[in-house]
Amino acid sequence: MYIDNELVVDNTGRQANAQAGSIRLDRGPHRVALEYVHVAGDPALKWEWLFDSGGDNAFNAVPRWALSQRQVSSATVVAARLVEALGGASMILVVVAGIWCVLAWPISRHETWIESLAPYRRNPTAFYLLLTAVCVGLALGPPYGLWRFVYWLPGFNLIRVSSRFMIVGLLGIAVLAGMGFDKISSRLARQRRVVFATVVGVLLVAEYGAIPIGVQPGNAEVPAIDRWLDSQPKPFVVAEAPVQRLENSSAFERQETAYMIHSTAHWQKTVHGYSGWRTALHGQLYSKMQAFPDETSVASLSDLGVTYIVVHTDSYPLGEWGRVEERLREFSSRLRLEHVEGAGRVYSLLRPIANAVR
């Protein structure tokens, strides 16, 4: 990266850590030239800066208002900063105004709606039909259904698997089935109605008996190294290694489930877990962690705020742990060994320290 034709950062992309440089700048615009070559792997580029009087003494991504393809005046820069600062507030105002315009007419006819919908508001059939439809829509999960629109809401974000909504959906189906039975059998004599209900009950029991629930005992032993984390100051965020390849879905999901059980030793946030569906961010993260430790995986974990990385040496294939251990020594400036117990190791993830543009 060149600033006013002066080389500030010289990073070929093969270094283990991010590269930094410093330069003294006078007030006003400066010409910046950034040369970037994608050699191999996933392309990754981050440009951050830090002022001597930055206050929080931390790198931050170079904002859009500071960049222009042509030289501009200071007044234009100030205007750009104001527009970007007010952008979020303006968007909120536009959304609120749009919602108000959409709801203005229904609100004005509030009394009419109450009167016209009165027969349906206390109709049990309509209620359980709506309940079942909503639960089915939530249980479908991505890329279909309603779950992708509400999973981030308070309360919803505590639900691990969207199919759990069908527990309530089955309640609605059962009540609707009972209402249907009552409607069909209402014209029968009492004795015939009892016989009809008995036959239906026997058929239901026979159907359930034909598909028994298989139970298989499992071993949910939490490693001692994960229990040691419970003695550390909280809160913290944990990642564990190794990570199975995504292509081997059965082994990958079993490992993710095991790592989720490990987190019950300390009950702190973890980047692992099985939920039946996965965001694009998690898919990318797990793909990068298969090469841990390397610059991409360490940087990704750092960006997510991971505090500790638990390495299970006995989970690596035969002969691979030696190569991983060598890479861990190469990253000693970023990964500090905190504790060893049994086949487990805990490394703390250190943030890069620098004092200039990088």
Do 228 and 322 fall into the same domain? yes
Angle between helices 110-121 and 74-108 in degrees, nearest 10: 60
**Which of 151, 180, 210 is the last residue before a domain boundary?**
210
Do 137 and 237 fall into the same domain? no
3-state SS, the chain, equals CEECCEECCCCCCCCCCCCCECCCCCCCCCCEECCCCCCCCCCCCCCEECCCCCCCCCCEECCHHHCCCCCCCHHHHHHHHHHHHHHHHHHHHHHHHHHHHHHHHHHHCHHHHHHHHHHHHCCHHHHHHHHHHHHHHHHCCCCCCCHHHHCCCCCHHHCCCHHHHHHHHHHHHHHHHHHHHHHHHCCCCHHHHHHHHHHHHHHHHHHHHHCCCCCCCCCCCCCHHHHHHCCCCCCCEEEEECCCCCCCHHHHHHHHHHHHHHHHHCCCEECCCCCCCCCHHHHHHHHHHCCCCCHHHHHHHHHCCCCEEEEEHHHCCCCCHHHHHHHHHHCCCCEEEEEEECCEEEEEECCCCCCCEC
Do 260 and 345 fall into the same domain? yes
Do 201 and 296 fall into the same domain? no
Q: How many domains does one find in the chain?
A: 3
Is position 24 within any domain? no
**Domain residues for 112?**
75-116
Is position 39 within any domain? no
Is position 31 within any domain? no
pLDDT tens, the chain, 358 aa long: 899 989 998 876 655 567 788 888 888 888 899 888 776 666 677 788 887 765 556 778 888 878 888 888 878 888 877 877 777 677 788 888 888 877 777 777 667 666 666 666 678 888 899 999 999 998 887 777 788 788 878 887 777 778 889 999 999 999 999 999 998 888 889 889 899 999 999 998 998 888 877 777 777 788 999 999 999 999 999 999 999 888 888 888 888 889 999 999 999 999 998 766 677 788 888 888 988 999 889 989 998 899 999 999 999 988 899 999 999 999 988 999 999 999 999 999 987 654 444 4
**Starting at the edge strand that comes first in sequence, how are the strands of the sheet with 2-3 ordered?**
6-7, 2-3, 32-33
State the Cα–Cα distance between residues 71 and 57, nearest whole angstrom.
28
Do 137 and 248 fall into the same domain? no
Phi, psi (deg, nearest 5) at residue 54: -70, -15
pLDDT in the model for residue 163 = 85
pLDDT in the model for residue 319 = 85
Is position 10 within any domain? no
